[in-house]
Amino acid sequence: MSKIAPQVLKQAVLNVLEGSKKKKRNFVETIELQFTLKNYDPNKDPRFNKTVVVPYKIRHNSKICMIADAKHADECTELGITFVTMDYLKTFNKEKRPVKKFGMKYNVFLASKNLARLIPRTIGPGLHKLDKVPIPIDHNSKLSSKVDEAKRTIRFRLKKTVNINVPIGSVDLEPEQIIQNINVASNFFTSLLKKNWQNIRSVYLKSTMGHSYRIF
């Protein structure tokens, strides 16, 4: 159960959206949820790297790339999904710079399930370091549905800091859609902590170029 007061949350969402309307940008701003932990030591307490699927997209236009086998490559071509092959990844020769450049081009990576284990052996840990481990997709799954799900997937990865920021939506969503995403994401995140909401010091809501608003 969320500990964020509904009125506080609603007002913060409205403030974020109003701020984005007052100062028009040449792109659609992403809205971010910013958590700070308390009484939680990442060096001693359990770290995690988990994902949750929220009801609505977390970015206006998520850039998705699939690392595809021959069958998935055909599906990607048919659906207009960007893809690369393992042969393309081999051209990086495990060099950090091209792998990082490749990883920064996209928000989310998918991979044919039979290739998932081969990717780190081929290009090293670069995508893992960027928190962009490819989501494995088998051939029994409908690719278009998995792409839609990927656009609604938030990854919570606790590193060596007590701060975690995640995309939660974009300013073109309706207020209620953003609120639903926030409630699902925050409840999931706190469920990963030892003492749930008691380990949360603060939660802020912020658009890319806007002010931040404390909601907890």
Residue 158 is part of a domain; what is its CATH number?
3.30.190.20
Asked whether the CA dihedral 186, 191, 192, 196 is positive or negative, the reply is positive
| SS3 state at 106 | coil
| pLDDT confidence bin for 1, thresholds 50/70/90 | confident
Beta bridge partners of 203: 35
Range of the domain at 131: 64-150
- Which of residues 112, 129, 150 is at a domain's end? 150
Q: How far apart are the first and last CA of the chain?
A: 14
- Which of residues 150, 170, 201 is at a domain's end? 150
- Predicted confidence (pLDDT) at residue 24 exceeds the cutoff of 90: no
- Residue 165 and residue 120 in one domain: no
pLDDT in tens, 31-79: 999 999 999 999 999 999 999 999 999 999 999 999 999 999 999 999 9
Residues in the chain: 216
pLDDT in tens, 72-120: 999 999 999 999 999 999 999 999 999 999 999 999 999 999 999 999 9
